[in-house]
């Protein structure tokens, strides 16, 4: 099953969030920008590769409002998210060039009837000199705030048909200029204070945009959604889909009675009491939930350094380093690192928050959350936990966190055709009141309507999917551990940090569907990857098995740095899907047979 280079993963999917890079050589070619790979890219992971639909819309905006020969545009769902990009760029441009960076806002045409265009069809664009494209791309990648391909598709049609027009307001233009050039405290060349400001036309609490009057709860509620959406995916009722997603994340609502009972059985008494959908906030991507949680904490607690604990998904570290006064990084995530942190705290150093993953990616190592919580209580800092890899059906980290963030793009959706993220506030957390007030003032619902519909539909069976994937992954990792050809298998169940994972595992929870494997030579790793007949590309948590040479893709420009934290450059990461166990065993065995031939 060798899929063509650059094709959508899954195939024939207009809004796929992964792309086929089927061989080790193709992955290196992609990172090197080689034409034989790049020219074939039909799509890519949306924060790293801007979808062709969005590229076309950006070209049209520049054609109308800029200079196509010298300028480009980056697209965002709101004025606020565009201003974050604008500010970031201005601090990195010369004074002579700064006037060329500007924000153009688009709003529904006054002649448009309210019922014909969704009220969230706002579009903001940052137009800038082409040579500064890599700077704008950093904002797109690290913040996760860019428009989705579905929003881009809608806005492109609306712009062409005259339903989306430029917002012309002298006062708005002046405000935009002030925002771009605004407060520079802690805004050094590599650090931008992008903390949200109070108010704004797009600020709202999640509940303020949801219309639930006359809509029953439970099973009738789901039937209501299904009847209204039908096969046409009517986005006029997307608010109900968002509410369903938030309830599902809070553990209140699933697709049917059986799944509700399964969820109740998993959580039992271990779920945080008092948690409701009002504590769940949705974002357009998982990275956006992390970026905005950091912003909210700075707005609520003041601007301070943060801590990144454990080897992280790279954009989390970049966000903490580039927005705010800096970041203390503990890449090993060890007890010795916590000893060092405690010594710093004893000596009077103060921090905004600690950001960590449970478990980490790609080594699936679990941090000591209980000790982190004790330190946070004693020294007054917040705890933000990314549970994407573990997922809240397997683990319950919320009691030790102030905010739990997650990428809904992954196993929650599973279908690999929509992006989304969430942030959940612990109702018993020390900073709950101040964070809730800050979210009420600053939160923007930038999740595009149609994306919300897909998230709601895709996630209805996530309980049963996770259970099957947990079971299959345990069997496959045991198979690999038993092979003399394999150097290491990184998986929560077989890691030395397993006791730390077990402390937060639900009684009926598993160990997730993600693991990494290494071999005794690069040639063996290449043979295994090239002969593993599954989909190859970025992302994880898909309903189909997906593999990538993770370190090459995530850290190609910093391989030595990654290696210093035990992340080998020829590591192979595998995300297990819903295939039959026997079929997947056969595929893995064939790949191991290829490794054996290298040895021979």
The per-residue pLDDT for range 246-290, each reduced to its tens digit, is 999 998 543 334 444 555 555 444 458 889 999 999 999 999 999
Total residues found in the chain within this entry: 600
Say if residues 101 and 179 touch (Cβ distance below 8 Å): no
Of the three residues 135, 162, 189, the one that is the final residue of a domain is 162
Strand-pair partners of 535: 546
- Mean of the per-residue pLDDT values for the chain? 86
Give pLDDT, residue 307.
Answer: 98
Is pLDDT of 237 > 60?
Answer: yes
Q: How many Å apart are CA 167 and CA 109, to the nearest integer?
A: 9
Is pLDDT of 99 > 50?
Answer: yes
Give pLDDT, residue 365.
Answer: 97
Say if residues 353 and 383 touch (Cβ distance below 8 Å): yes
471, 501: one domain? yes
396, 257: one domain? yes
CATH of the domain at 127: 3.30.70
Q: How many Å apart are CA 119 and CA 106, to the nearest integer?
A: 12
409, 484: one domain? no
Give pLDDT, residue 272.
Answer: 81
Indicate whether 71 belongs to any domain. Answer: yes
Q: How many Å apart are CA 411 and CA 405, to the nearest integer?
A: 14
Residue 522 has phi, psi (to 5 degrees) of -65, -40
Using DSSP's 3-state secondary structure scheme, residue 95 falls into coil
State what percent of residues in the chain have pLDDT above 70: 83
* Average pLDDT estimate for 178-196: 37
Indicate whether 494 belongs to any domain. Answer: yes
306, 387: one domain? yes
149, 99: one domain? yes
Q: How many Å apart are CA 151 and CA 312, to the nearest integer?
A: 29
Q: How many Å apart are CA 298 and CA 305, to the nearest integer?
A: 9
444, 540: one domain? no
Helices (H), 302-347: 314-322, 335-346
Is pLDDT of 525 > 60?
Answer: yes
From 155-164, 311-320, 448-457, the region with the lowest mean pLDDT: 155-164
> Higher-confidence residue: 469 or 109?
469
266, 403: one domain? yes
Give pLDDT, residue 175.
Answer: 43
CATH of the domain at 404: 3.40.640.10
* Average pLDDT estimate for 456-483: 96
pLDDT, tens digit, 9 for 90 and up, residues 542-572: 999 999 999 999 999 999 999 999 999 999 9
Give pLDDT, residue 3.
Answer: 82
Say if residues 439 and 205 touch (Cβ distance below 8 Å): yes
Give pLDDT, residue 196.
Answer: 30
Say if residues 551 and 24 touch (Cβ distance below 8 Å): no
Indicate whether 187 belongs to any domain. Answer: no
| Strand arrangement, sheet containing 486-490 | 486-490, 514-519, 572-575, 546-548, 535-536
Indicate whether 318 belongs to any domain. Answer: yes
Q: How many Å apart are CA 253 and CA 260, to the nearest integer?
A: 6
First to last CA, the chain: 25
> Higher-confidence residue: 234 or 152?
152
445, 495: one domain? no
493, 403: one domain? no
> Higher-confidence residue: 184 or 171?
171
Say if residues 353 and 381 touch (Cβ distance below 8 Å): yes
269, 415: one domain? yes
The answer for residues whose C-beta is within 8 angstroms of residue 56's C-beta and 6 or more apart is 156
Give pLDDT, residue 214.
Answer: 35
Q: Which of 221, 241, 251 is nearest to 454 (CA)?
A: 241
pLDDT band at 109 (very low <50, low <70, confident <90, very high): confident
- pTM comes to 0.87
Q: How many Å apart are CA 483 and CA 519, to the nearest integer?
A: 11
Indicate whether 12 belongs to any domain. Answer: no
425, 525: one domain? no
Q: How many Å apart are CA 153 and CA 360, to the nearest integer?
A: 35
Burial class (CB in 10 A: 0-12, 13-18, 19+), 436: middle
* Average pLDDT estimate for 16-33: 96
482, 451: one domain? no
pLDDT, tens digit, 9 for 90 and up, residues 29-38: 999 999 999 9
Of the three residues 145, 162, 179, the one that is the final residue of a domain is 162
Is pLDDT of 8 > 60?
Answer: yes
Give pLDDT, residue 119.
Answer: 40
Of the three residues 162, 193, 210, the one that is the final residue of a domain is 162
The answer for residues whose C-beta is within 8 angstroms of residue 9's C-beta and 6 or more apart is 3, 16, 18, 19, 20, 416, 535, 536, 537, 539, 546
Burial class (CB in 10 A: 0-12, 13-18, 19+), 228: middle
∠ Cα 371 372 373 (to 5°) = 90
Range(s) of the domain holding residue 523: 462-599
Give pLDDT, residue 269.
Answer: 46
What domain count does the chain have?
A: 3
Is pLDDT of 219 > 90?
Answer: no
pLDDT band at 584 (very low <50, low <70, confident <90, very high): very high
Is pLDDT of 173 > 90?
Answer: no
Is pLDDT of 117 > 50?
Answer: no
Is pLDDT of 541 > 60?
Answer: yes
From 50-54, 126-130, 194-198, 216-220, the region with the lowest mean pLDDT: 194-198
């Amino acid at each position: 099953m060798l899929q063509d280079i650059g094709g959508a993963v899954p195939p024939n999917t207009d809004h796929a969030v992964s792309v086929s890079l089927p061989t080790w050589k193709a992955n290196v070619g992609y990172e090197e920008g080689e034409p034989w790979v790049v020219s074939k890219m039909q799509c890519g992971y949306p924060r790293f590769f801007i979808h062709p639909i969005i590229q076309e819309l950006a070209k049209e905006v520049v054609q109308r409002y800029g200079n196509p020969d010298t300028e480009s545009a980056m697209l965002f769902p709101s004025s606020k998210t565009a201003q974050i990009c604008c500010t970031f760029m201005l601090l990195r441009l010369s004074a002579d060039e700064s006037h060329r960076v500007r924000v153009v806002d688009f709003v529904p045409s006054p002649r448009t009837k309210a019922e014909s265009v969704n009220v969230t069809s706002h579009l903001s664009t940052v137009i800038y000199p082409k040579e500064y494209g890599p700077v704008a791309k950093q904002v797109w990648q690290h913040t996760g705030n860019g428009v989705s391909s579905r929003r881009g598709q809608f806005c492109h049609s609306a712009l062409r048909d005259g339903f989306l027009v430029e917002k012309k307001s002298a006062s708005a233009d002046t405000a935009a200029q002030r925002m771009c050039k605004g407060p520079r405290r802690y805004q050094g060349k590599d650090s931008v204070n992008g903390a949200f400001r109070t108010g704004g036309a797009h600020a709202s609490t999640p509940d303020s945009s949801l219309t639930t009057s006359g809509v029953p709860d439970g099973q009738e509620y789901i039937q209501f959604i299904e009847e209204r959406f039908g096969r046409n995916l009517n986005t006029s009722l997307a608010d109900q889909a968002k509410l369903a997603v938030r309830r599902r994340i809070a553990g209140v609502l699933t697709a049917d009675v059986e799944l509700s009972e399964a969820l109740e059985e998993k959580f039992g008494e271990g779920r945080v009491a008092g948690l409701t959908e009002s504590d769940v906030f949705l974002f357009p991507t998982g990275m956006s939930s992390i970026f905005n949680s950091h912003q909210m904490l700075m707005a609520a607690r003041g601007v301070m350094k943060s801590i990144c604990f454990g080897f992280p998904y790279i954009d989390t570290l970049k966000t903490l380093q580039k927005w705010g006064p800096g970041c203390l990084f503990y890449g090993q995530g060890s007890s010795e690192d916590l000893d060092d942190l405690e010594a710093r705290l004893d000596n009077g150093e103060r921090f905004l928050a600690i950001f960590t993953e449970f478990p980490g990616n790609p080594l699936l190592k679990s941090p000591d959350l209980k000790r982190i919580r004790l330190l946070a209580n004693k020294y007054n800092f917040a705890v933000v936990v990314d549970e994407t890899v573990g997922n809240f059906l397997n683990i319950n980290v919320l009691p030790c966190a102030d905010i739990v963030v997650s990428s809904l793009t992954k196993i929650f959706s599973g279908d690999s055709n929509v992006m989304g993220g969430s942030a959940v506030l612990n109702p018993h957390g020390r900073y709950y009141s101040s964070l809730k007030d800050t979210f009420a003032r600053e939160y923007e619902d930038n999740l595009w309507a149609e994306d919300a519909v897909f998230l709601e539909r895709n996630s209805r069976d996530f309980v049963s999917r996770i259970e099957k994937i947990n079971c299959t992954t345990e069997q496959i990792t045991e198979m690999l551990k038993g092979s003399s050809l394999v150097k290491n298998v990184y998986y929560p169940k077989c890691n030395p940090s397993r006791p730390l994972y077990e402390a937060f595992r639900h009684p009926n929870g598993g160990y997730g569907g993600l693991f990494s494997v290494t071999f005794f030579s690069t040639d063996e790793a290449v043979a295994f990857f090239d002969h593993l007949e599954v989909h190859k590309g970025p992302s994880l948590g898909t309903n189909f098995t997906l593999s990538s040479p993770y370190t090459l893709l995530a850290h190609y420009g910093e391989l030595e740095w990654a290696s210093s934290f035990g992340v080998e450059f020829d590591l192979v990461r595998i995300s297990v899907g819903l295939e039959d166990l026997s079929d997947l065993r056969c595929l893995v065995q064939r790949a191991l047979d290829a490794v054996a031939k290298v040895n021979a």
